Structure 1
Amino acid sequence: MSKAIKPIAIYLPQFHPIAENDQWWGKGFTEWTNSSKAQPLFKDHYQPHLPADLGFYDLRLEEARLAQEALAKSYGIHGFCYYHYWFTGKQVLEEPLQRKMKNPKEDLPFMMCWANENWTKTWIEAERDVLLRQEYSSEDDEKHIAFLIPYFKDTRYIKVNGKPVFMVYRPNLFPDIHKTIQIWRKRVQEAGFPDFYIGFARKSVNEVFMDCFDFAFEFQPSFSDTPAAPKATIWERVKIKTKKISGKYAPPKVIKNDYEAYANHQMNNKFNPKVYPGITPMWDNTARKKNYPFILHQSTPEKYKQWLRHIADNFPWEKASDSFLFINAWNEWAEGNHLEPCQKWGTAYLEATQEVIEGPSKTSLK
């Protein structure tokens, strides 16, 4: 491997109150509200996921953001990929990144991914109940890229050969993604950049790579790309009686995938140098989807490290434009998906990441 791997940790900014969440979910709602209430659904189910070193932080505070960046840097994380929320000019959860932009002390490199989905009541399985709707148009494409260019000009913004890196989460939702990217490229070049480096989140190995994009990254876990399941040890649907709803008991359907089996399945897939590799340390969205959670059960730092080492040793880094490795995620606590230290594992996942990326070091798994 000739290139030094650059781990990019996906970053969720929903750890501070906003007016919209106050209205929809109750005063003071943040991501901690759901994650701290989660309960185990079966034997050996790791819930709730509770923070350790950084505590229940508020991302409006400079001290919290600086502590995150210091922790990330100390374990070799190259940068954060901030979820960006834009609804025809309306922004939500923008405050942490806006405050970083004004604060030179927050010097960790960053990029952005537009989470271009409708906001719905997905946490209570009411995905048809739309809270904020995405509307696409050429006019909005122009307005959006004009808003983004000042971020791209920031010296901390991650670029490839001078081209700012930007991603969209769901390219299939655009009425004409080719036209949108054409507009964006033109405006980025007019702003003085050599070009745009535009990518998307690939959810499945079967997802078509559209030629208007420069790259994709593996979004892990890939819910549609899971092991065949003749054995309950690999894939198990668990039914558990819960509270009465409309006079009847509602049995949740828990999709419980063994983490090691899932990782082994992913390791059998072929790499594409235009699709940067992705990995997840663990996943359990019980806190968000109480009735239909997807769980990667029995994740450990050692199993994660084996998957990560496979990626480091086998991805064709020399053929890729850069050496990004996307880790989902830095702080998705309500999805049980985080590199940030928790009360069960401490910094073990960060240590595993550093050991693989930088080689044997002074850190050791706890």
Structure 2
Amino acid sequence: MSKKIRSIAIYLPQFYPIKINDECWGKGFTEWTNVTKAKPLFKDHYQPHLPADLGFYDLRVPEVRQEQVDLAKQYGIDGFCYYHYWFTGQRVLERPFEEVFKSGKPDFPFMLCWANENWAKVWDGGDQTVMCEQHYSREDHINHINYLKPIFKDERYIKIDGRPVFSIYRSQNIPDIEETIKLWRTELAKDGIDIYINRFESYSEGGENLVKDGFDAAVRFEPFSTRKPKFTKFWLKDTMKNKLNPWYIKYKLSSAEGRKKMFSLRRLDYGAYVDFIKTLPKENNYKLYPGVTPMWDNSARKQKDYFMFTNSTPEKFKEWVEHEIENFEPYSEEENFLFINAWNEWAEGNHMEPCQKWGHSYLKAFKDAVKK
């Protein structure tokens, strides 16, 4: 069996204005609005993350989408996984992908991930106002999968043995997920399509019911994989013992307030996380595709309750990618994915696209890791 790995970068389409965002946050809002207002919160905090090569682009421009693909190809990324938004037939942020699909350009492999959370005004750090709410029903599931049929037939669509690969961001939010997947498979079979369904896994969600629910595999969604809680406990214990935790100096550990502050800490060291991952045993009890993230800092998007990695570097990212590739045995010739979160999550400080600080360093680190 070949050890060929297909690297898939997750792609955010929120870089052009839409009516719902105008109404919620003001005329002309895009992801760049959050990016440019970010400020450092402490010494040596890398904010704001500002784009380099591609500038503050607008995804309605086809030349921008082609430049993104050219960069991805240059550095060994094999495809994009576009976030797909569907709310009882209402589509949001659909224009960039719709134009990619209908125009046939760029000529680059793609797949979709249904971002099925409620569309809420939560990114500003607390307002839970729901702008688009998910309502699940048999009728809507049929309408949804019928909308996707022509997309699945596109020659560029990423497939496994001819089966289009479709991911679900929060499968646990869908009532009767087992029946939903059966319904989808039945509807698609009418057009001769056999789908391959992944679910993104984060925090405590494990794979125990994966096969029973009808999924073919899962994707480890970093940095919020099931490994993060394990690392947090390990890291807190170690830093308390060695008095390295920033809260240690400000609060006495014996006080209730001190303990509360200790465990609400939202800054973790990237290098320590990578080192911890490298100590973990392999997980082989179900099909689970590896995931990596170059960095993470969503303080630009959230005024409070943010989470960030500190001390992220291209060198440490390269170590992580190398580790995942070395320890991943593809489940078959084409079940060989490595997911990168993300291509362009700029307001989460999480991007492979060049920024003014790092330039092409993360892209080069990824390419070197894959070549090795």
Q: Find the aligned partners of 2:105 and 2:332 in 1 and give their Cα distance.
A: 35
Equivalent of residue 271 in structure 1, options 280, 283, 297 = 283
Partner of 1:244: none
CA distance in 1: counterparts of 2:111 and 2:287, whole angstroms: 18
Deviations 1:226-284 (A, max 9, x none): 332131688656999xxxxxxxxxx9x76110001111222333233610000000000
- Residue 286 (structure 1) aligned with residue 299 (structure 2): yes
TM-score for both structures, normalised by structure 1: 0.90
The aligned residue for residue 220 of structure 2 is 218
Q: Say which SS state the counterpart of residue 123 (structure 1) adopts.
A: coil
> What is the identity, as a one-letter code, of the residue corresponding to 2:203?
S
AA paired with 1:183?
Answer: L
User: Once the two structures are superposed, what CA deviation does each residue of 1:299-356 show, in whole Å capped at 9, x if it has no partner?
Assistant: 0000000011011111122568511100000000000000000000001111111111
Residues 196-245 of structure 1 deviation map (CA, whole Å, 9 limit, x = unaligned): 100100113652342110000100002534332131688656999xxxxx
Which residue of 1 is the match for residue 26 of structure 2? 26
- Is contact 2:207-2:218 (8 Å) kept? no
Moved more, 315-324 or 165-174: 315-324
| Structure 1 range deviating more: 314-323 or 163-172 | 314-323
- The answer (yes or no) to whether the contact 1:82–1:113 under 8 Å persists in 2 is yes
Give the Cα separation in 1 of the matches to 2:204 and 2:39.
Answer: 33
The answer to whether 1:182 aligns with 2:176 is no
2:253 match: none
Deviations 1:135-189 (A, max 9, x none): 0011010000000011101110001001110010001111100011001111222
Is this contact kept in 2: 1:235–1:255, CA < 8 A?
no
Shift in CA distance, 179/342, structure 1 to aligned 2, threshold 3 Å = same
TM-score by length of 2: 0.89
Aligned to 2:2, the other structure's residue is in SS state coil
Candidates 253, 258, 266, aligned match of 2:269 = 258
Q: Distance in 2 between matches of 1:317 and 1:208?
A: 17
Give, in angstroms, the shift of residue 2 of structure 1: 2.5
The 2-side partners of 1:90 and 1:177 are apart by 21
Q: 1:218 to 1:129 in 2, by over 3 A?
A: same
How do 1:166-205 residues align onto structure 2 when only pairs under 5 Å count? 166-193=166-193, 195-204=194-203
Aligned position for 1:363:
none
Q: Do 1:254 and 1:293's aligned partners in 2 also have CA atoms closer than 8 Å? A: no
Structure 1 partner of 2:311: 298
Deviation digits for residues 8-55 of structure 1 (CA, Å, limit 9, x no counterpart)? 000000000000000000000000000111111011111000000110
Whether the 8 Å contact between 1:8 and 1:78 is mirrored in structure 2 is: yes
Pairs within 5 Å for 1:1-366: 2-126=2-126, 128-193=128-193, 195-204=194-203, 207-209=206-208, 210-211=210-211, 212-222=214-224, 223-227=228-232, 228=234, 229-230=236-237, 231=239, 236=246, 255-269=266-280, 270-272=282-284, 274-317=287-330, 322-359=335-372
CA distance in 2, matches of 1:239, 1:103: 58
Q: CA deviation at 1:357?
A: 1.1
In the aligned structure 2, how far is the partner of 1:105 from the partner of 1:238? 54
Relative to total residues, which structure has the larger helix share, 1 or 2? 2
Deviations 1:75-106 (A, max 9, x none): 11100000000000000000000010122331
Gaps of 5+ in 2: 251-260
RMSD (Å) for aligned C-alpha atoms: 2.1
Query: For residues 358 and 127 of structure 1, what CA distance do their matches in structure 2 show?
Result: 45
Greater fraction of residues in strand = 1
Counterpart residue identity of residue 117, structure 1: E
Percent identity, aligned pairs only? 52
Q: Number of aligned residue pairs: give it.
A: 347
- 1:332 and 1:126 mapped to 2: Cα distance? 20
Question: Amino acid of the residue matched to residue 214 of structure 1?
Answer: D
1:290 Cα deviation (Å)? Answer: 1.8
> SS of 2:178's equivalent?
helix
